[in-house]
Structure 1
Amino acid sequence: MEWLSTFFLVLVVVCAIAALMVQDLLAAVIIFGAFSFFSALYFATLGALDVAFTEAAVGAVITTVFFVTAIFRTIRRSKT
């Protein structure tokens, strides 16, 4: 089970770096949603199911929906 926790932790780090590197804001939000999902899976493998459920509900769903809604109401591409 240790390898599964390490795998999810590596995916969290990869998603964090990818979210910082992309230029498209919608892609960054989708990667951030994946980051939250992998964080929830990581917490679940550690046995913290209440934290995992909260992270999945708030981080992966509600925050992603709010960010996507905000992006569609503003400019999608960053200026750099």
Structure 2
Amino acid sequence: MLELLLLLACASILTSGVLAVSLKNLMAAMVSSSLAGLFAAVSFLLLAAPDVAMAEAAIGSGLTTFIFLYAIRKTRSDGDAA
């Protein structure tokens, strides 16, 4: 059962990564990228590495997403407002 969950988490990481690269909308690509980090944290947790999972969740999914979303919002011009 653990192997199946780990395989599902790894497939989700790959799917999120491919979506992050292929999506045209920057916000959707950023959300997909943060989901890849979240699934990586889940896979670390399944592999019995809770300290690495917490670091990945905090930095990979949380802080990096916030910084990228802030940068996207600041670099948009008035005509690009969504």
Q: Report the TM-score when normalising by structure 1.
A: 0.91
Q: CA deviation at 1:75?
A: 2.8
Structure 2 portions without partners, runs of 5+: none
Could you tell me which residue of structure 1 aligns to residue 63 of structure 2? 62
Equivalent positions of 1:13-24 (< 5 A) are 13-24=14-25
Structure with the larger RCO, 1 or 2 (CA within 8 Å, 6+ apart): 1
SS for the counterpart of 2:44 is: helix
1:5-53 deviation line (CA, Å, top 9, x unaligned): 0000000000000001001111111111101000000000011111100
CA distance in 1, matches of 2:76, 2:27: 10
Aligned residues: 77
Q: What is the aligned partner in structure 2 of residue 30 from structure 1? A: 31
- Note the aligned Cα RMSD (angstroms): 1.3
Supply the distance in 2 between the matched residues of 1:48 and 1:56 (Cα, whole angstroms).
12
Runs of 4+ displaced beyond 3 Å: none
**TM-score normalised per structure 2:** 0.89
